[in-house]
Amino acid sequence: MASVPNDLRYAKSHEWIDPGQSPHRVGITDRAQAELSDIVFVELPEAGRLVTQGEACCVVESCKAASDVYAPISGMIAAVNEDLEARPELVNKDPYGEGWLFSIDASDMGEFPILLDSGAYRDMT
Amino acid sequence: MQTPYLPHTDSDVKEMLETIGVESVDDLFGDIPKGLQNHEFVLPAPLSELEVVASLRESASANRPLASFMGGGSYRHFIPAAVDAVCSRSEFYTSYTPYQAEVSQGTLQAVYEFQSMICALTGLDVANASLYDGASAVAEAALMAVRKTRRPEILVARYLHPHYRQVLETYLSGTDLKVVEIPAREGVSDLEGLKERISEDAAAVVLPQPNFLGLLEPVHELAPVAKEAGALAIAVCNPISLGVLSAPAEYGADIAVGEGQPLGIAPSFGGPGLGFMAARDDLKRNMPGRIAGQAFDAKGRRGFVLTLQAREQHIRREKATSNICTNEGLCALAATVYLALMGPEGLRTVGRLNLERSHDTLERLSGIPGVEPAFDGLGSPERPFFNEFPVRLATDADALIHAAAEEGIGLGIRLGAHFPELQNCLALCATEMTTDADVSKLADFLERRLSGK
């Protein structure tokens, strides 16, 4: 059973975002990492880059596939998880914790309601 | 129709058609509208194998061997018999680029060896399985630099091979990317000219070594200028010169590319070629082409794989680093066998012989009225060259080339066609294959032809 923490919000494209802290951390869900299997490389966005909701801004690579990661909300990339350079497997091991990808300074808090809560995401998958 | 050249007999075809439930071979093309189907091929009647061989032999007899002083990117070097012996093994000769790659361990191992040798030659960290040729390798390197720096300009030496420049411009056409020429002075790139033209719009500086004229560029001074401006230095080198010239990594190249034809591949009317590419480790995810890697299976045994495939179009589609999904497998194998056979000592010897033969040839021609070095001090430490050098003729170069061919001499490469400042200039090439008799024949021809003019 894939884990879907209740305090996070989810995009239909299988990203999670933490509404509780600003800048808001973003990653991919437990279900997503399981489907991708062993992740070998993460192409992170540049800090300072402006993104819009739904824009592809990051790529997660496993041996046979490269998956786009989409910004769940609009804003500026505040920080990226530098640990993933040496240890991309953190995304598999701890997708909601140490495997976070990047954080966003939100430009429009009104975008959050569009996202799914844990129940809706569970229903979808 | 039964012929000795196709493997299937009429009864084979009949059996296959019956198995798949089709009446005739023509029915297999039934999806093509009748109006587009062409049943009327006007061709001569088929020839027997004996007649074909006779016809080809007659065509081949029109070949006239020349004492050749032609280079221009395609060079006559000695190809040891072992190269063909290994390459013509049917496991190598008939196989295509592997798509279920791990099943083709022999092919992957050969590619891995090739990549390792290119790294050893260039001094850089990662090499790919090869690209089509030197020209497209330059274009791919330029695109790597654009992706890495996100800048729009590619600065190229004036005397980069003109065909390589044309191919680069073709690759860039339709984009906002621009080629900017670095002016030359006395046959090589002008350092001050580069400093004037380089800006923070420069993604890369493309430095040939040697250049199209055969001259050695001041790469140890030019490459740092690129670095300081935040641009990548792309070295375009003749691999057979790397036995005697500085490795690209030594002068700060970020990417090294070139044409591998001199390494055990016959000139063959200009192709097939062998593009090689090596780069610094931090650029590896930006590289185009296939990359063979070494890995271990579940039992801990060493094996080979295709790696970093997420760069390629079958995974990344429009975001791939290139649309290339193949390599020059057989040519890369030939180069690998050649390099394995030669080793570092052998390559040093070949390089030295090329230097000596070309410098001796220039000396033999000096004193012939009507033939001048195209630049003062040609061949001195101030104006060094490798195995090619430019001369200026006191007569029409085209006419002289034709006259030379009539006498069995391949005179050289026309430079005026590409560079207006080099009217009636030729680039002459001498390699380890050039004999004393060849040089005497050339000198004698020039003396006769140019005296009394």
Best residue in A38, A63, A68, A85 for a mutation probing chain B (most B CBs within 10 Å): A63
- Using an 8 Å CB-CB cutoff, list chain A residues near B319: 59, 66
pLDDT band (50, 70, 90) for residue B452: low
List, as ranges, residues 253-312 from B with C-beta within 8 Å of A. 285, 309-310
Decide: helix, strand or coil at residue B440.
helix
- Are A63 and B316 a contacting pair at CB < 8 A? no
B91-133 tens-digit pLDDT: 899 887 777 788 899 999 999 999 999 999 999 999 999 999 9
- Does 3.40.50.1970 match the CATH number of domain A9-119? no
pTM listed for this prediction: 0.88
Contact B401, B414 (CB under 8 A): yes
B356-408 tens-digit pLDDT: 999 999 999 998 999 999 999 999 999 999 999 999 999 999 999 999 999 99
- Using an 8 Å CB-CB cutoff, list chain A residues near B309: 63-64
Best residue in B148, B319, B321 for a mutation probing chain A (most A CBs within 10 Å): B319
Burial class (CB in 10 A: 0-12, 13-18, 19+), B244: middle
The answer, for B316 touching chain A at a CB cutoff of 8 Å, is yes
Question: Looking up tokens 């786009």, which residue turns up?
Answer: A68
Check residue B2 and give its pLDDT: 66
Hey, what CATH class is B81-336 in?
alpha beta
Which residues are bridge partners to A16 per DSSP? A10, A27
Contact A23, A104 (CB under 8 A): yes
The answer, for A64 touching chain B at a CB cutoff of 8 Å, is yes
Q: Smallest Cα–Cα separation from B204: which of B168, B240, B239, B250?
A: B168
Query: Hey, where are the domains in chain A?
Result: 9-119
3-state helix, strand, coil in chain A (%, to 5): 20, 35, 45
Sequence-separated (6 or more) residues with CB below 8 Å from residue B192: none
Decide: helix, strand or coil at residue B226.
helix
Query: Hey, where are the domains in chain B?
Result: 67-78+343-450, 81-336
For residues B228-235, average pLDDT: 98
The answer, for A85 touching chain B at a CB cutoff of 8 Å, is no
For residues A51-67, average pLDDT: 90
A15-50 tens-digit pLDDT: 999 999 989 999 999 999 999 989 999 999 999 999
**A113 to chain B, closest Cα gap in Å:** 32
The answer, for A43 touching chain B at a CB cutoff of 8 Å, is yes
The answer, for B314 touching chain A at a CB cutoff of 8 Å, is no
Question: Looking up tokens 């691999």, which residue turns up?
Answer: B239
The answer, for B105 touching chain A at a CB cutoff of 8 Å, is no
In chain B, the residue whose alpha carbon lies closest to the alpha carbon of A65 is: B315
Measured in whole angstroms, how far is the alpha carbon of residue B349 from the centre of its chain? Answer: 22
Sequence-separated (6 or more) residues with CB below 8 Å from residue B320: B311, B312, B313
ipTM of this predicted structure: 0.72
Measured between CB atoms, which of A41, A63, A66 is closest to B316? Answer: A66
Amino acid present at A40: V
Sign of CA dihedral B399, B402, B408, B411: positive
- Are A43 and B309 a contacting pair at CB < 8 A? no
Interface size, chain A vs chain B, as Cβ–Cβ contacts under 8 Å: 15
- Does 1.10.3720.10 match the CATH number of domain B67-78+343-450? no
Contact B76, B267 (CB under 8 A): yes
Measured between CB atoms, which of A41, A43, A65 is closest to B315? Answer: A65
- Are A41 and B285 a contacting pair at CB < 8 A? yes
- Are A65 and B309 a contacting pair at CB < 8 A? no
B29-83 tens-digit pLDDT: 889 998 888 778 888 888 999 999 999 999 999 988 899 999 999 999 999 999 9
In chain A, the residue whose alpha carbon lies closest to the alpha carbon of B286 is: A43
Contact B73, B162 (CB under 8 A): no
